Amino acid sequence: MTKRSRRALEKPGPAGFLLVDKPSGWTSHDVVDAARGWFGTRRVGHLGTLDPLATGVLPLAIRAATKLVPYVTDNRKSYVGSIEFGVETDTLDAEGQVLSRHEGALPERAAIERALAGFLGEIEQVPPMYSAVKRAGVPLHKLARAGKQVERAPKKVRIDRVELISYRAPIAELEVDCSPGTYVRTLADDLGRLLGCGAHLRNLRRRRSGPFALDAALPPDQLAEAAEAGKIERYLVPAADVLGLEVVQLGPEEARRVEHGGEVGAPARLVAGARVAALKPGGDLLAVMEVMPGRRLKPLRVLQSVAPAG
């Protein structure tokens, strides 16, 4: 099938963001594939991978909203999960093979809290072998399943909050607020090594991904039912509500100019360098624009015309 014929099969419809409560056992790509069926489009992407074991909010960009992912500037993550001390696994979580078991005493709560304090702020993490990080174009998890271990360069991540919510040995429940790219599995493994007993991540649930909260997410079975009933698009979050930018309403002639990549005048209230969400007369997001010297609005990213949501 040619690129043109694939485009012809695309079902037209509105752009926006969909919040899915990912079940355990699904990959993030599984969710993307399901959403392509729900909306009848190949233009679906996710904002931040979740491991198959993990559950929780997985935001999807639908249709032209895929162009806006770089402009979603709030990318902080929040998780709740449990760690089991005394057991190390090859995947650093409960899905892996057990590598070792600690026979001695497990740490007291105070020792865990002291150790956790050392992970606050900017730290370095070595990505796990069972991850989507690529080495020479090959995902590490494929190398790991082939029995290969390779050196991985540590990456800087940031942990803004890590709190021990409960502890009944050997299980500790944590809440973590962190930067994108942080592996809570690696945090669990590093914590276990620091305390001298080993540990792995038992479960993980993402409560927030940037501006998207879990309480607004729906499970795939409910979304599949909505798609079957022709009501899936009512669950799209408008792109302008997500970007956190000041909104500028365009007139008909201004919208036509912007659709073709042209500049328009900027309202007096805007300062040079500011970015705005420019809306078409009907209220749909048309473009992300930047205020240039001379009080002009320049398109940074123009969305294709879309039909209003039903």
Q: How many whole angstroms separate alpha carbon 124 and alpha carbon 260?
A: 45
| 8 A C-beta contact, residue 199 and residue 83 | yes
Q: How many whole angstroms separate alpha carbon 164 and alpha carbon 107?
A: 13
Backbone angles phi, psi at 178, to 5 degrees: -155, 175
Beta bridge partners of 87: 101
Q: How many whole angstroms separate alpha carbon 23 and alpha carbon 219?
A: 7
Q: How many whole angstroms separate alpha carbon 287 and alpha carbon 228?
A: 31
- Judged by DSSP in three states, 14 sits in coil
| 8 A C-beta contact, residue 243 and residue 68 | yes
| 8 A C-beta contact, residue 77 and residue 180 | yes
In angstroms, the Cα distances linking 43 to 127, 155, 216, 223, 227 are 29, 30, 22, 17, 16
| 8 A C-beta contact, residue 141 and residue 199 | no
The reply to whether 51 belongs to the active site is: yes
Type of residue numbered 89: T
Catalytic option among 30, 33, 51, 177: 51
* Catalytic residue IDs: 51
